[in-house]
Chains A and B, each alone.
Chain A
């Protein structure tokens, strides 16, 4: 759309990155001989995507610091727990 402002262009950039990360995480599996490393990479990519959605689409980057912290701590805790359990 030609009438996009800078904020909308920024949102489109994040959407492109999220889409590329989704394809990469699915298509690069054969490149990994080590399943554990692949599983760790998949989890980290998933939670990087989650954080982008929270901060950019949900606009949490402009929210009170307490909400930002709660969501960051949640993401790090669940991602770490999943990596420990899966890898």
Chain B
């Protein structure tokens, strides 16, 4: 079976409507990133104190989980496109990585709440719970999207009939990964 070219020049991956959603989400999170920098500039000691209280190991582990899930999703898309086996298994492992991210986040939140740290503790923790919480909702929606594209990838003729849906879902998952990259830098790495 002749393979479709891996990269057709000028090809928008997925539905163009998904890119409207992606660019909209990027704009919303960009506002969050700038808000963080603004509040941090106004209360540096509060932010440095808050950042020192976060578990950097959880942040790094979650970053590696999302990067790995993104790799698996990208390889799975390529497998479907080139009509090779393995896409569903790769997407299953990507979903496990995403579930791992959710589990770590729940553990992290619960440790903070048990220690008496919440929204009202400081501006730092208000932004931490708000922005990482909104991101976590994206991860949970993204897991549903990954389940959907796994089922699409399993169907006969997926390379011919379901490629746009699969690319759309994959692009949304990569968006979640890249938003976390910036949140990780702002909340966990800066000091």
A37 at interface by CB-CB < 8 Å: no
Q: A58-B174, A59-B7, A63-B13 are in contact. Are A23 and B60 (CB under 8 A)?
A: yes
- Secondary structure at the B interface, as helix, strand, loop or mixed, is helix
- A82 with B33: CB separation less than 8 A: yes
Q: CB-CB < 8 A to A4: which residues of B?
A: 75
A70 at interface by CB-CB < 8 Å: yes
Q: CB-CB < 8 A to A45: which residues of B?
A: 185
Closest to B172 in A: A58
CB distance from A14 to the nearest CB of B (A): 8
Q: CB-CB < 8 A to A62: which residues of B?
A: 7-11, 13
Interface size on A, residues (CB 8 A): 46
Q: CB-CB < 8 A to A38: which residues of B?
A: 190-191
- B12 with A64: CB separation less than 8 A: yes
- Secondary structure at the A interface, as helix, strand, loop or mixed, is helix
CA distance A64 to B67 in the complex (A): 25
B56 at interface by CB-CB < 8 Å: yes
Further contacts, 5 of them, CB under 8 A, given A18-B67, A38-B190, A85-B38: A11-B71, A15-B67, A58-B170, A86-B40, A86-B41
Chain A residues within 8 Å of B, Cβ to Cβ: 1, 3-5, 7-8, 11-12, 14-15, 18-19, 22-23, 25-26, 29, 35, 38-39, 42-43, 45-47, 49-50, 53-54, 56-64, 67, 70, 74, 78, 81-82, 85-86
